[in-house]
Amino acid sequence: MKTNEVLENIKARRSVRAYTGQQVLEEDLQAILEAATYAPSGMHLETWHFTAIQNMDKLTELNERIKGAFAKSDDSRLQERGHSKTYCCYYHAPTLVIVSNEPGMDCACAIENMFLAAQSLGIGSCWINQLGTTCDDPEVREFITALGVPANHKVYGCVALGYPDSKIPMKEKKVKVNT
């Protein structure tokens, strides 16, 4: 089978849900964010916005506000998460990038570029979707706007970033091929 560095990076990437406490270096974070800006965007408008959070107090507050929104949900699974003392939507990653855009726009390619750039730098990542479903809750919206997310933006996803905890083994990828 044909291969190269890009294809090997794609094959090696996994969602990481356990991180060390080591913070992502500023230089690496900037490289990951730059990779996101090279993604295609609808009509080449590039109206996306990337809000990187590395402050643990702010990450904890964000998680608490998301849990508060979950606690108000009609969905019993979300209510359970909202009342959990241990639930952390970003898996305690030391860095979280909120990816937002104007309603109706897309950010999936930018997020994937961040995942692949992180993998190439030895940094683990995971798609975090909880903020996308809670960003319009008033307490959540107030907080993310204060963090720098434009008030007119919808959150399309978040990228948890950090160094994988080596004590947690990575799962083997099972490739399903449809021909």
Task: Give percent helix, percent strand, percent coil of the chain, each to the nearest 5.
Answer: 40, 15, 40
Q: What does the pLDDT look like over 155-167, one tens digit per residue?
A: 999 999 999 998 8
- Report which residue type is found at 22: Q
Token representation of residue 160: 């948890």
pLDDT, averaged across the chain: 95
Q: Which residues contact 117 (CB under 8 A, 6 or more apart)?
A: 31, 32, 34, 35, 36
Confidence label for 27 from pLDDT (cuts 50, 70 and 90)? very high
Chain mean position to CA 132? 10
pLDDT at residue 179, as a whole number: 67
Q: Which residues contact 31 (CB under 8 A, 6 or more apart)?
A: 117, 121
pLDDT at residue 172, as a whole number: 80
pLDDT at residue 43, as a whole number: 84
- Average pLDDT of the residues in 140-167: 97
pLDDT at residue 131, as a whole number: 96
Confidence label for 38 from pLDDT (cuts 50, 70 and 90)? very high
Helices 5-12 and 108-120 pack at an angle, to 10 degrees, of 100
pLDDT at residue 102, as a whole number: 95
pTM: 0.94
